[in-house]
Amino acid sequence: MNNTYERLVKLLLSDPDYVAEDGNVLKATVYSDAITMKQSLLELLLSDDEIKRLFFKEVNDTLIFDKQEFAWLINSKEFLPDSYTAYTNKIGLTSNAEFISLSDKVVLDFPYKDALLAGGQDKEDQKREEIMYHYVLAREQITNLLAPKVFTNAKRYKKNGVEENITFNDEDNLIIKGNNLIGLSSLLQRYEGKIKLIYIDPPYYFRKKIAEDSFKYNSNFRMSTWLTFMKNRLVLAEKLLMPGGSIWVHIGEDGMHYLKVLMDDIFGKDHFVATLPRKTRDGKSDVPFNLSQDFDWILVYTNVEEKKTVVGRSVERKYYTTEDFPKRPWRTADATSQRTIIERPNSDFTMINPKTGKEYPVNPKRSWAVTKDTFVEYYDAGGIGFPDDYEFMSGNRPFRRVFKDEDDRNTKPTAVYSDFLIRDLIKNLLLKSKNKDGNDEIDTLFSRDDFNYAKPENLIKSILDVATDENDLILDFFLGSGTTAAVAHKMGRRYIGIEQMDYVKSVTVPRLQKVMKGEQGGISKEVKWQGGGSYVSCTLKEDSAGLIHQIQNSTEDTIDDVKASIYAEERIVPYLSAKELEITESDFNVLSIEEKKKALVALVDKNKLYVNYSSIEDEEYQVSDSDKAFTKSFYEGGKTNAK
């Protein structure tokens, strides 16, 4: 059996007391007997080792029946608060209000905004009426759900054309269309432990329900649902990071502190790197408490101890070539220490230039970096220099001399000091990375209606500058308009992006095509981008996900026909009987169009959203030869590199 539901149904149907006239399970009777701990039901459940393991716990050599877990599975209530809950409870689709942030639950989301817009509404009204489809699955369903999937419609895009009937190779950049939780699980076989940097801009958690969210899908999560949604994706993301890699998560103020606690748990609080602010807009006057909060935040984590180099920067340095060191170019550095002469009494002395005799008294508040005993040793080795030795030298203090060959031997990148953060990275985050900058870039490429609130290219460049090198592999599994992919492409990084929304076809892919042709927006001029390169685009092959599209595109005029076809489908949840569906007809009719869609989507078996790689040869799924070749090249090509 693939999941608990199927196994339990088979077991219950073996007892005539739980079989209805139509041959299906009498769920109400089962639920009642479970609550009253009826001995015959307990004996039946104990007869199956797997069911016994799931619903019975051993305490001091005594088996205790977990009624709560069993009741969650049965999903039946006697008293119902509203028509939608009445309908969903009658067909066994609610979770009995169980706290959903448990570790063995997975939240799937189906955020197709455009399918939910009702006629006659303006955009703000429409946004208030949208429903975020998300569902919680029991642990026994997860293994099948997160198994590697089949890819379809694979194409390699180049500057001058498109290649089809392709296979995948290690140098390919990759864009995947499909649910990002399932997409992440499909990446593991090939890319576990290989991603240098992950940047994501996920749906924000908002303390108050808002009409105007920052995404093409509704961001109005409940806290527990949002944390579960984030947790399951971040757990997979952590597995993909290479040692010393980093993950940068963009988040709003309402969810930032909750997310940090969650990421402390997943990545380890000792692996927290930084919290960085980004200015999102210019100040507003009509704000809570008369304080304009104009920032969002980036949480940065890694997977190694703090002594390891996770971020760094390359520095353009000016070297001098002089007659006294003709074959060793050198640069100047500070010859003082941050400690006082009281703290370093051995460094309390007056430096004298051996060539000119000029004296340089110590600064009492900043002692010399060398001691009076080691001065001669450093000077003879060329490590100390004086400004009066050179006509071109400005300044009036001795300096530390650093030779270029010493810099070349030091492969560790220069640390990201606070002065650099303030001058460059933070300057970019605070002054050059506002929402307006990203919107303007999208306006130049397409139009604002195509995508709102795109992050500006300069923001992503600032991150890649300090956390990656050329040819490093970057992942963004909330790809959106494709800013991360576009910047990585221009900066010579490899990249993987996952996006399930349809604008991946109308915005993301066309944007990357413009990038390959040498478009000059965003960071192009700064990095001297001239075009070129390639990437592969593919889609997770749908199975029951197609039913969800059908439901979400329905209207009041077509919803009943869609419902009839859904009821006849074999890809609805396996524990519903035809009788149960039939008796709920009147309950269904009183629902709103949004509630009807939500209820029908809930009927779809989430185990069968996409075709498993293990079923690639099954004729039922009609996988084409080209899809087989590409999918096999992706998984089998990664086996030798998998951990």
Give the mean model confidence (pLDDT) for residues 75-82: 37
Other beta carbons within 10 Å of 390: 13
Residues 6+ apart with CB under 8 A from 51: 4, 7, 8, 11, 45
- 151 Rama class: left (phi>0) / alpha (psi -120 to 50) / beta: beta
Least confident of 49-63, 335-349, 431-445: 431-445
Q: Where does the pLDDT of residue 302 fall: very low under 50, low under 70, confident under 90, or very high at 90 and above?
A: very high
Least confident of 175-184, 293-302, 322-331: 293-302
pLDDT at residue 44, as a whole number:
93
168-193 residue pLDDT tens: 999 999 999 998 999 999 999 899 99
Q: Check pLDDT > 50 for residue 131.
A: no
Instruction: Give the residue from 458, 440, 466 showing the smallest Cα distance to 523.
Output: 458
Chain position carrying tokens 């799924």: 621
pLDDT at residue 2, as a whole number:
44
Cα within 13 Å of Cα(499), Cβ side: 28
Q: Where does the pLDDT of residue 219 fall: very low under 50, low under 70, confident under 90, or very high at 90 and above?
A: very low
pLDDT at residue 480, as a whole number:
87
At residue 133, the 3 state secondary structure works out as strand
Give the mean model confidence (pLDDT) for residues 216-229: 64
Give the mean model confidence (pLDDT) for residues 589-613: 82
pLDDT at residue 429, as a whole number:
56
Chain position carrying tokens 């700064």: 526
Q: Where does the pLDDT of residue 597 fall: very low under 50, low under 70, confident under 90, or very high at 90 and above?
A: confident
Give the mean model confidence (pLDDT) for residues 267-277: 91
Q: Check pLDDT > 70 for residue 565.
A: yes
Give the mean model confidence (pLDDT) for residues 66-90: 55
Q: Check pLDDT > 70 for residue 255.
A: yes
**Residue 350 burial class via C-beta count within 10 angstroms: exposed 0-12, middle 13-18, buried 19 and up:** exposed
pLDDT at residue 443, as a whole number:
59
Q: Can you read off the two tokens belonging to residue 258?
A: 């909750």
Chain position carrying tokens 């060793």: 328
Higher confidence at residue 568 or residue 134?
A: 568
Q: To the nearest 5 percent, what fractions of the chain are helix, strand and coil?
A: 40, 20, 40
Instruction: Give the residue from 225, 214, 149, 183 showing the smallest Cα distance to 499.
Output: 183
Q: Check pLDDT > 60 for residue 82.
A: no
Give the mean model confidence (pLDDT) for residues 448-468: 77
pLDDT at residue 121, as a whole number:
29
Question: Regarding beta strands 494-499 and 351-352, do their DSSP bridges make them parallel or antiparallel, or are they unpaired?
Answer: unpaired
On average, the pLDDT of the chain sits at: 78
Chain position carrying tokens 């059996």: 1
d(CA 116, CA 600): 14
d(CA 567, CA 578): 8
DSSP state of 114: G
User: Which among 21-25, 308-312, 330-334, 443-447 has the top mean pLDDT?
Assistant: 330-334
Q: Check pLDDT > 90 for residue 364.
A: yes
Higher confidence at residue 108 or residue 76?
A: 108
Least confident of 71-85, 220-234, 367-381, 438-452: 71-85
pLDDT at residue 34, as a whole number:
81
Residues 6+ apart with CB under 8 A from 326: none
Least confident of 5-14, 127-136, 456-465, 538-547: 127-136
8 Å CB contact between 541 and 186? no
Higher confidence at residue 457 or residue 318?
A: 457
User: Which among 261-265, 290-294, 395-399 has the top mean pLDDT?
Assistant: 261-265
Residues 6+ apart with CB under 8 A from 520: 529
pLDDT at residue 287, as a whole number:
57
d(CA 386, CA 353): 7
d(CA 380, CA 383): 7
Q: Where does the pLDDT of residue 529 fall: very low under 50, low under 70, confident under 90, or very high at 90 and above?
A: very high
**Residue 391 burial class via C-beta count within 10 angstroms: exposed 0-12, middle 13-18, buried 19 and up:** exposed
Q: Check pLDDT > 90 for residue 224.
A: no
pLDDT at residue 281, as a whole number:
59
Q: Where does the pLDDT of residue 417 fall: very low under 50, low under 70, confident under 90, or very high at 90 and above?
A: very low
Q: Check pLDDT > 80 for residue 128.
A: no
**Structural domains in the chain?**
80-101+545-604 (no CATH), 143-312+417-540 (3.40.50.150), 320-409 (no CATH)
106, containing H or E segment: strand 106-110
Q: Where does the pLDDT of residue 474 fall: very low under 50, low under 70, confident under 90, or very high at 90 and above?
A: very high
Chain position carrying tokens 């002692």: 367
Q: Where does the pLDDT of residue 66 fall: very low under 50, low under 70, confident under 90, or very high at 90 and above?
A: confident
Q: Where does the pLDDT of residue 411 fall: very low under 50, low under 70, confident under 90, or very high at 90 and above?
A: low
pLDDT at residue 285, as a whole number:
53
pLDDT at residue 594, as a whole number:
85
Residue type present at position 233? R
HEC profile of 233-269: HHHHHHHHEEEEEEEEEEECHHHHHHHHHHHHHHHCH
Instruction: Give the residue from 565, 542, 543, 544 showing the smallest Cα distance to 554.
Output: 565
Q: Check pLDDT > 80 for residue 492.
A: yes
